[in-house]
Chains A and B, each alone.
Chain A
Amino acid sequence: MEIVSTPPPAFPDGQPEEQQPKWRRDFPVDVEADEYGARRDFTKFLVLTSLAFACGQLWIAMLSVFRRRTFSEQRLTALDELPVGGVLPFHYPTDRDPCLLIRTSEQELLAYSSLCTHLMCPVLPQLHDKQLHCPCHEGFFEAATGRPVAGPPRRPLPRIQIQVREGVVYAVAVEERTS
């Protein structure tokens, strides 16, 4: 018996794979090609996504390198109107940035952003403990430095730089800190 062994056409029209439409090459019938395509596409996805993330990080880094924030001066209060142990809420640099001005002694003025660095609840001063307290999740900050001492916050409160000229307190700039 003769066994006729002609190379079988792998496609209905008998044309080679290069001449098939793209959808037919994208959805191969054979298991190996199907799995290979899936692996290749997944690898492509991984590489391109990683590349996108890396470019995004670079973009953010460039932004933070070249960003120059300019702050305007803002009159807060006359020094006489703030007693020792007194606290004055104010907004700086914009109306959406609540801050606290704390007078701990005759000479010492402290000013911090009052947005807790955990989830932006307003912090409340507890000067008898020399602390700032965030009531939302029991976070505590050191009053003297603004650094977190307890609770969920991990970053210090942004410090507002203060100048006192001729008995008047001015907010000058915001000092963003990471530790």
Chain B
Amino acid sequence: MSVPESLFFFLDPNRCIGCESCVQACSECDTHKGHSMIHLERVNRYESPQTIPVVCMHCDSPTCAEVCPADAIKRTEDGVVQTARKPRCIACSNCVLACPFGVPKMNTDYELMMKCDMCYDRTSEGKRPMCATVCPSQALFFGTHAEIQALRPRSRSLNTFQFGRQTIHTKVQMMVPREAPVMHIDVAAAWHDPQGEDEQDDPMLSAALFELPVLSN
């Protein structure tokens, strides 16, 4: 059994309303012990309520598997990168640090990296992933290119991403506005930018938001 070649996972961050239905649906699944494998990321918490659902993009050259020292992360014939194999995973978190999308999560209780595998038990039988079945705004869509073309005439799908000097081709498709040019942001540029803003200006980094309560006797 493998995922039908005509079916793709389309991610449309424009349509995400942050309802956390996908997180709830994912965490109700027993194949990953009730932990949610989808991340609902906030783009800019101070400026906007915009959220992005982040699932595994199933790269053609998975960085997580490339950096795994224990040979634990494998990709099936249909291009789905599976979660780490329990007998092999040594819980070193290399994949967690290496993945440009920030998908793998280390579960220290199990000493196991767990990540989205596109609900392989369902998609390998032609069913949709759990998150795509519950998404009310269809920001997560699982279907053919023809279907998504009919549904989103003003968007087009994109599956190449640029991280530094590495070009990544993914199995999961990101929907972008049809006319807008694709901007590849150099995520590593800030490291080399001497004019970067001071860390103290960032309320997140200056711990303004996360002050620990002071207990006085």
Residues of A with Cβ closer than 8 Å to B?
Answer: 1, 3, 6, 8-12, 14, 24, 27, 29-32, 34
Contact = CB atoms under 8 A, between A and B. Distances in A.
A34 to B, nearest CB: 6
A29 B75 contact: yes
A4 to B, nearest CB: 8
B145 interface: yes
5 contacts: A3-B145, A9-B61, A29-B75, A31-B75, A32-B77
A8 B169 contact: yes
Contacts of B76: 30-31
Nearest to A1: B149
Interface string B59-84: 01111011000010111110000100
B166 interface: yes
B9 to A, nearest CB: 15
A8 to B, nearest CB: 4
Contacts of A12: 61, 63, 66, 166
Contacts of B74: 29-31, 34
Interface of B: 60-63, 65-66, 71, 73-77, 82, 145, 149, 156-157, 166-167, 169
A34 B60 CA distance: 16
Contact of B73 (A11, A24, A29, A32): A29
Contacts, number: 43
Given A1-B149, A34-B71, A34-B74, A29 B156 contact: no
Nearest to B69: A27
Contacts of A6: 169
Contact of A1 (B71, B82, B145): B145
Nearest to A31: B74
Contact of B77 (A1, A8, A14, A30): A30
Nearest to B63: A12
A163 B157 CA distance: 101
Closest A-B pairs by Cβ, 4 of them: A8-B60, A1-B149, A8-B169, A29-B65
Nearest to B74: A31
Nearest to A35: B74
Given A6-B169, A29-B66, 10 more contacts: A1-B149, A3-B145, A9-B60, A11-B61, A14-B167, A29-B65, A29-B73, A31-B74, A31-B76, A31-B82
Contacts of A1: 145, 149, 156-157
A34 B88 CA distance: 13
Nearest to A27: B71
B155 to A, nearest CB: 9
B145 A30 contact: no
Contacts of A30: 74-77
A9 B145 contact: no
B89 to A, nearest CB: 14
Nearest to A32: B77
B156 A9 contact: no
A27 B74 CA distance: 10
Nearest to B77: A32
Contacts of A24: 66
B184 to A, nearest CB: 15
A111 B73 CA distance: 69
